[in-house]
Amino acid sequence: MVIFSLFCVFPLIWVLIAATNTSVDIVSGVLVPGKNIVANFQTLSEHYDVFGASWNTIKYSAVCTVAAIVVCSIAGYGFEIYHDKVKDKLFGLLMLTMMIPFVATMLPLYQSYAKLGLLNSTLGFILPQVSTVFLIMLFRQNSRTFPKDIIEAARIDGETELGIFFKMFMPTMKATYAAGATIMFMNAWNNYMWARLIMSDNSAQTLPMMISNMTTGHYIDYGMLMLAVLISTLPTLIVFFALQKSFVQGMTGAVKG
């Protein structure tokens, strides 16, 4: 247990330390934080559009996450609370899409996007990612624990369906929302394949793309590289730590259902 934990954590600690050292120091195996972090950052921002890439990544991930949890939560709710045979069959059909490897859809999507002018755009980035069966399933499974009699009571009281959803479902299912948001945010933030495919403009690139570009050179400044890795990893780590408990709760609910 201890060994594995160390194995998992060590590379990240190394990144933290490396980001503060010069490339020469890193190469010789220094394991102590150095004082080079500011210089590394200067080199980084000189050669690469850190702020642009960061802002793009934030923008795309935030929009994607919000859109995804809205669309998928109402879908999960719909599938579970209003379930009938037809809907269950439909859901089974949708699950087939989980088998479809992205490589199979990415090329035609690229072509259609080019025709529709959706390349290099936020909308283009988020569309394929917003509605995933995984997220719908998360909300659907967790909705099973939602007491249906409360819904009946609310209907008798004259509450609209949407009203029930907003006033009763959403507040109760905070853990699920947290789990869903975490997963979606991480997926959107770290997405590389799709981003690289549709973002050809340098001004539209994301952090993963920027880091990838850094590795194609003769001389690799490890300090600068690790600092970039650190910058791009920090947000997802923060999101994860903040929502950790809810995340585990949400996943547990999904698996039990």
Partner 1 sequence: MKLTMRKRENLVGWAFLTPAVVLIVIMNFVPIAQAMLMAFQSGRTGNMTFTGISNFTRIVRDSRCMDALKVTLEYVVVTVPLILALALILAVLLNDPKLKLKGVYRTCIFVPAAVSMVASAVIFRSLFAADGFVNSILVNVGILQTGYNFLGHPSSARIILMMVRVWKMLGYQMIFYLAALQGIDSTIYEAAKIDGATGLQQFFKITIPMLKPTMVFTVVMSVNAAIQVYDESVNLTNGGPGNATMPIAHYIYRLAFNGVPNFGYACALSMVVLVVVGAMAIIQMKVGDRRE
Identify which of 93, 182, 88, 81 has the alpha carbon closest to the alpha carbon of residue 135.
Answer: 182
> Applying CB under 8 A, which part among 33-41, 44-52, 117-125, 234-242 lies near partner 1?
234-242
Is residue 225 a contact partner of residue 214, using CB atoms and an 8 Å limit? Answer: yes
Does residue 233 bind partner 1 (CB under 8 A)?
yes
Rounded to whole angstroms, what are the CA distances from 216 to 54, 115, 153, 210, 213? 20, 31, 62, 11, 6
Is residue 165 a contact partner of residue 101, using CB atoms and an 8 Å limit? Answer: no
Binds partner 1 by CB under 8 A, chosen from 75, 173, 198, 199: 75
Query: Which residues between 136 and 195 bind partner 1 (CB under 8 A)?
Result: 136, 155, 161-162, 165, 186, 189-190, 192-193
Tell me the C-alpha distance between 124 and 195, whole Å.
10
- Minimum distance from CB of 84 to partner 1 (Å)? 7
Does residue 3 bind partner 1 (CB under 8 A)?
no
Question: Which one, 5 or 51, has the nearer CB to partner 1?
Answer: 5
Binds partner 1 by CB under 8 A, chosen from 130, 198, 227, 243: 130
- Minimum distance from CB of 58 to partner 1 (Å)? 14
> Applying CB under 8 A, which part among 32-40, 43-51, 116-124, 126-134 lies near partner 1?
126-134
Question: What number of other Cβ atoms are within 10 A of residue 54's Cβ?
Answer: 16
